[in-house]
Amino acid sequence: MKIAVGIIGIFLGLLVLMQSCAVTAGSGLLQDKATGGAGAIGMLVGLLFFIAGAFSFALPLVGAIMFALAAAFAFIASTSGSFSDISIWGFIALVLAVMSFFTWRSGRKGQAA
């Protein structure tokens, strides 16, 4: 399962990063600072997704922590109201964090046995 979490995390990280760059560029054209700030946080969320996906292959607990951080930042950015898609990415990050945590826990149980 850690391979699936890693690949999904890397792919979604690139997707969130591209979407957030588009939102930030659009807000720059429209001179909307609130959306620009949410887009900047969205780029951070995309970077965290990518890093968490990369760590999920070898260190699933670190990946789970990074996905949880990405979810926290996504929910903070969604409070501005202008970039509401980021809350969806926050829920996806929570699901991936739980999956990565259970991957780490099952691997740890396998080592103990």
Which tens digits make up the pLDDT trace of 51-92? 999 999 999 999 999 999 999 999 988 887 677 788 999 999
Domain borders along the chain are 2-112
Residue pair 60/27 in contact by the 8 Å Cβ criterion: no
C-alpha span between 77 and 48 (Å, rounded): 14
> Given pLDDT bands bounded at 50, 70 and 90, which one contains residue 113?
low
The pair phi, psi for residue 83, each rounded to 5°, is -125, 75
Give the pTM.
Answer: 0.89
Q: Angle 100-101-106 (CA atoms, 0-180°, nearest 5)?
A: 100
Look at residue 77 in the predicted model and tell me its pLDDT.
85
Average pLDDT score over the chain: 89
